[in-house]
């Protein structure tokens, strides 16, 4: 069973050449204005909107992640369309992308299934929060294997337990997917998003619940709990809003990327 593409042609281009053009453009623009942090990380937070809006932020994080030697990735994202309790992990053999198929890590799948309780809801895996990460992984890690976890109603400590388990494994990376505030004015969005960004940067759980409106806040909090436990600190890599691409400041969505070292 393969995980077929569900948002190719909408959230990201359906043609490999167009995806590569996006990534190269993001890299050129970044390098013309900034210096990429030289960090070793196994865990990142990335956004999941259309590449035209959030791809730049995500690209920074994947370039930093590519400086490590991670071979297998677990992508953890919120369910936007299917309501359910718990977290879902399906036994896919591979994940389709326009750049080629990403194989599943059957070994890691079995380890997770033996250690934790998962749902297996295929309908929940037609999910853009995880899928938009697949082309980035295939591009920057051509030989990588992946596991996709989509969560519904669940306590952050349950996701954190999974992350703690994964951080103990060699060559396994963790990708937490979230956008920030949705459909406020640019001024309002920046105020709300600053609460999320400061909370992540200082691993302040209380501040995360003081107005942060990230759609993947459960996953973010889980990563923060694990980072605190493991002695990691967070580095915010990029922040922007949809207004940077659309020039519409009346209804914007916020995006950020970060890594943990």
- pLDDT tens-digit readout, 49-83: 999 999 999 999 999 999 998 999 999 999 999 99
Q: What is the CATH number of domain 45-175+194-260?
A: 3.40.830.10
Q: Is the dihedral of CA 10, 12, 18, 22 positive or negative?
A: positive
Residue ranges of alpha helices (H) inside 141-216 are 156-167, 186-201, 205-208
Question: For the chain, first and last CA: distance in Å?
Answer: 35
For 133-175, how does the pLDDT look when each residue is reduced to its tens digit (9 = 90+)? 999 999 999 999 999 999 999 999 999 999 999 999 999 999 9
Tokens of residue 203, six digits: 């691993």
For the chain, which residues make up each domain, given as ranges? 45-175+194-260
Give the β-pairing of 72-78 and 145-151. parallel
Distance CA 243, CA 231 (A): 35
Tokens of residue 219, six digits: 């996953």
Instruction: For residue 123, report the phi and psi dihedrals to the nearest 5 degrees.
Output: -60, -30
| pTM for this entry | 0.98
> For all residues of the chain together, what is the average pLDDT?
97
């Amino acid at each position: 069973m393969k995980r077929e593409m569900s948002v190719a042609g909408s959230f990201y281009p359906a043609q490999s050449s167009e995806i590569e053009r996006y990534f190269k453009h993001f890299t050129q623009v970044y390098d013309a204005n900034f210096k990429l942090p030289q960090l070793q990380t196994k865990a990142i937070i990335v956004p999941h909107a259309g590449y035209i809006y959030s791809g730049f932020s995500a690209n920074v994080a994947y370039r930093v992640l590519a400086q490590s030697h991670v071979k297998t990735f677990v992508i953890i994202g919120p369910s936007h369309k299917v309501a359910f309790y718990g977290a879902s992990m399906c036994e896919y053999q591979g994940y389709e992308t326009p750049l080629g198929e990403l194989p599943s890590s059957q070994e890691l799948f079995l380890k997770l299934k033996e250690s934790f309780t998962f749902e297996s809801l295929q309908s929940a895996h037609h999910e853009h929060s995880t899928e938009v990460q697949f082309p980035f992984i295939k591009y920057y890690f051509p030989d990588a294997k992946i596991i996709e976890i989509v969560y519904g109603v669940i306590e952050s400590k349950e996701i954190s337990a999974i992350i703690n388990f994964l951080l103990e494994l060699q060559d396994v990376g963790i990708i937490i997917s979230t956008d920030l505030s949705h459909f406020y004015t640019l001024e309002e969005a920046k105020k709300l998003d600053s609460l999320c960004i400061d909370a992540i940067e200082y691993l302040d759980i209380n501040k995360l619940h003081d107005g942060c409106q990230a759609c993947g806040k459960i996953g973010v909090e889980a990563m923060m709990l694990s980072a605190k436990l493991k002695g990691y600190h967070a580095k915010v890599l990029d922040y922007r809003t949809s207004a940077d691409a659309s020039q519409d400041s009346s209804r914007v969505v916020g995006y950020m990327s970060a890594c943990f070292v």
